[in-house]
Structures are given as C-alpha cells and as structure tokens.
Chains A and B, each alone.
Chain A
Amino acid sequence: MKLTIKYFGLVAEAANKFEEVMELNGELTARELKERCLNGLSIRDKDSVQIAVNQNLDDKITLKDGDEVALLPPFAGG
C-alpha cells in the first residue's frame, strides 16, 4: 500500500522533511507506523506526538492504501 506521510513542527524539523510517500507491505496500525517513522529521530517526548489518519486523530486504526497520515507534535495555537 502507498501512504502519504506529513510531518509538522518539531517532527518535521527532526525528520528534515515535510512530506513523503511510503510504500509498505502487510497490515499496520497507525500507532505502529508512528513508531516506525519516529524511530531514530531526535525527539525528547515521542509519546506527545499524535497521529492523524485522513485528518482524524486515531492511532488504533489499520492503515489502508491511499491514506494520508500526519505526525503532529503538541498543539500550540492561540
């Protein structure tokens, strides 16, 4: 399956990219993808990073072909 992964804020900074397209085989939950993407990145509090799948926060969902996934550091609006 092909996924679009978007990186924001401190996650984008640590990954040194804003977006990538990833080809993956097999079943994977959003949480597993998050762990895979954050692995090796210099981020102090990885638990504070949330994952959105097609703009909905949900780390338990099983990913499917064409999903847009976003790695979101803590919100800081206002």
Chain B
Amino acid sequence: MDKKKPKKVFVQGAIPPEKIAQSVANHQSKTDIGAHSIFLGQIRADEMEGKTVTAIDYSAYEEMAEKVFHEIREVAFAKFDITCAHIYHSLGKVKVGEICLFVFTSSAHRKIAIEATNFFVEEIKAKVPVFGKEIFEDETHQWKVNK
C-alpha cells in the first residue's frame, strides 16, 4: 500500500471519540509500530466581552485544503521515519467540548511519532485554508484567527 496516497481529511461535524478508538484498533495488526502519537483539538468555550462561545462553524477552500494536507504529508514522510499518518478535520458546526481535529502518527519509537504529530498540527494551523466562525450563545458570531 502506498502510504503517501492522498486521503480524504474532512469530515462533516464533530469527530466522534469512537473514531479515535477505532483508529487505534486498526493499527494493532501493524506490529512494526512501537508508538502512536495523537493530537486532538477540542472546541473551547472562550469568553469574550461577557459572551461565551458555544460552537465553531468550520468552512474551507476544500480543493486547496486537500492539496495542502497532501503536501504536508509528503514533507512529513520525508522528514520523519513514520509508519503512517492520519488526519481528520471537521467541517460545519462543532459544539464546545467536541473534537474538531484528529492527528494520528505511528512510528517504531515514541520521539519520532511525537515530533511528527507536532509538525502536522503546526503546519495545519499555519497553512491550511480552513475558517472558523465562533458562535456565541446569543447566536452572534466572530471569526476565529489562529495564534
């Protein structure tokens, strides 16, 4: 199997915790793996001017985003000795406390997997054209900007 082939990253709505458990289970047959590293982005109930975020509505320039995700994968596989890497990002509305980003890398040893996951997360936040509308409890909104 070509470990670098483009994969669909976007999922509609929140990423269910069961998907994370299933992903771990799916790798139990790959016995050259000694370490998994997982990053989960969760929607935070930020407070601004007395209002609290209840959800983020994600949109994206999907064609470009899929291309950039693929480029990040290519660089990551060249840079780190990882066995595999999986990325899932939400589109549409994700409520506070729910998961919107799931990065999962596997390697023979922990350091490589941890570094690779960090690399993916930082690259995704900086380079992928995803936009987030933070929705407050009174249905007003503001646009999120990554720091």
Contact = CB atoms under 8 A, between A and B. Distances in A.
Interface of A: 6, 8-10, 13, 48, 52, 55, 70, 72-78
B100 interface: yes
B138 interface: no
Contacts of B125: 75, 77-78
Interface residues of B, number: 26
Interface string B101-142: 100000000000000000001001111111111000000000
Interface stretch (B19-27, B29-37, B57-65): B57-65
Contacts of B58: 76-77
Contacts of A48: 145
B63 A55 contact: yes
15 contacts: A8-B59, A8-B131, A9-B59, A13-B143, A72-B61, A75-B128, A75-B129, A75-B131, A76-B131, A76-B132, A77-B58, A77-B89, A77-B124, A77-B130, A78-B100
Interface of B: 41, 58-61, 63-64, 67, 89, 100-101, 121, 124-133, 143-146
Given A8-B59, A72-B129, A55 B67 contact: yes
Contact of B61 (A10, A52, A74, A76): A52
B31 to A, nearest CB: 31
A72 to B, nearest CB: 5
Given A8-B129, A75-B129, A77-B130, A52 B145 contact: no
